[in-house]
Amino acid sequence: MLTPGVISEDLTGFFHAGQISTAIQDAVSVDCIDQVKIAQQRLEEARFDQAPVMDGNRPVGWIATTELTGQHNVRSAMIPLENCTIVSAESSIASILGLILRHKFLFIADKCGISGFIVQSDLDRHAVRSYFYLLISGVEILLSEIVKSTLPEWQIAMSIRSSMKKRYERACIASQETSAAEYLYIKELIELFLQTEYARDPGFWNESLTSLLLKVKSFRNTVMHATRSMTAVEDLQLAADLPGWARDVASQLRVIVASLNGKMQVTNLGA
């Protein structure tokens, strides 16, 4: 039996804004009455492009370092709290990706009030990368299930890269339980999937889904390399779109897996 629910549909709610926010109490901040020179020095020493603005212990807005030039004090240059975007600490990461792209700075609120903030560089934090990793890995697993259930082993084995071929051959010689699909990268999985009857059936697949699948693939290397900054090498709009792409692709791949399961059950009954 294959596993159509291999990508958990509750991933969206599992990763949330509070996991990638910086606590106000731990943050480098500036005071609303600080002179520009003092604020600039503090932010430049910390190498920050923006910071929350405080009035004593109370956050009252945020400031971008570039907006300080030519101003008298921080209050005259800041974006006041009433004009800021505030999201719940429980908001899903998927839901805030577009917001952080548009607004650059989000305040986070929990049951005690404003507790932290998120900036664009926080998209490199572990929770975001883990979320993207699981989305892409789930697509790969579904592709692998479909490929190994619809194509002969010899055909799949022909697509294994030379660097992985010996591992596969050793496993076969040792009579280990293995499948050639387990040794494929996402590029080869996609190529083989597109050769299956399901990918050629407009009732199951279309060119639009292929385009989305290729977009998901394009993110794989950046997401899988933990030391590579996603915000530095990827268009943030594309990062914001990734969850939707992966959701749409995975949803249709699950339909195909469910169809395969139905065929298997019919075959077993006939046997």
Q: Are residue 92 and residue 209 in the same domain, yes or no?
A: no
- Domain end marker among 102, 123, 144: 123
- Least confidently predicted of 3-12, 34-43, 112-121, 242-251: 3-12
Residue range 208-219, pLDDT digits in tens: 999 999 999 998
**Counting Cβ atoms within 10 Å, is residue 221 exposed (0-12), middle (13-18) or buried (19+)?**
exposed
Q: Is 178 helix (H, G, I), strand (E, B) or coil?
A: coil
The CA distance from 241 to 216, in Å, is 10
Domain harbouring 68, CATH code: 3.10.580.10
Q: Are residue 130 and residue 256 in the same domain, yes or no?
A: yes
Helix %, strand %, coil % of the chain (to 5):
60, 15, 25
Q: Are residue 137 and residue 248 in the same domain, yes or no?
A: yes
- Please provide the DSSP assignment of 122-175 as one string: GGGSHHHHHHHHHHHHHHHHHHHHHHHHHS-HHHHHTTS-HHHHHHHHHHHHTT
- 203: Cβ contacts below 8 Å, ≥ 6 apart: none
Name the more confident of 153 and 222: 153
Kindly list the strands in the beta sheet with 113-119, ordered across the sheet, starting from the edge strand earlier in the chain.
22-23, 113-119, 105-110, 85-88
Q: β-strand 58-64 against 85-88: which pairing, if any?
A: unpaired
- Domain end marker among 123, 138, 165: 123
Q: pTM value?
A: 0.86
Average the pLDDT over 148-166 and give the result: 94
Q: Are residue 152 and residue 257 in the same domain, yes or no?
A: yes
Average the pLDDT over 228-239 and give the result: 81
Average the pLDDT over 77-100 and give the result: 95
Q: Are residue 174 and residue 263 in the same domain, yes or no?
A: yes
Structural domain count of the chain: 2
- Please provide the DSSP assignment of 247-262 as one string: HHHHHHHHHHHHHHHH
Q: Are 2 and 261 in contact (CB under 8 A)?
A: yes
Q: Is residue 4 part of a domain?
A: no
Buried residues in 36-54 as b, exposed as e (16+ CB within 10 A): beebbebbeeeebebbbbb
Q: Could you tell me the residue range of the domain that residue 40 belongs to?
A: 11-123
Determine what percent of the chain is predicted with pLDDT higher than 70. 92
Quote the pLDDT of residue 226. 79
pLDDT for 66 beyond 80: yes
Quote the pLDDT of residue 2. 45
Residue range 178-200, pLDDT digits in tens: 999 999 999 999 999 999 999 99
Quote the pLDDT of residue 189. 97
Q: Are residue 78 and residue 139 in the same domain, yes or no?
A: no
Q: Is residue 143 part of a domain?
A: yes
> For all residues of the chain together, what is the average pLDDT?
90
Average the pLDDT over 33-46 and give the result: 93
- Give which of 208, 220, 203, 214 is closest to 256, Cα–Cα: 203
Q: Is residue 178 part of a domain?
A: yes
Q: Are 221 and 269 in contact (CB under 8 A)?
A: no
Residue range 92-138, pLDDT digits in tens: 999 999 999 999 999 999 999 999 999 999 999 999 999 999 999 99
- Domain end marker among 78, 98, 123: 123
Q: Is residue 98 part of a domain?
A: yes
pLDDT grade, residue 265 (50/70/90)? low
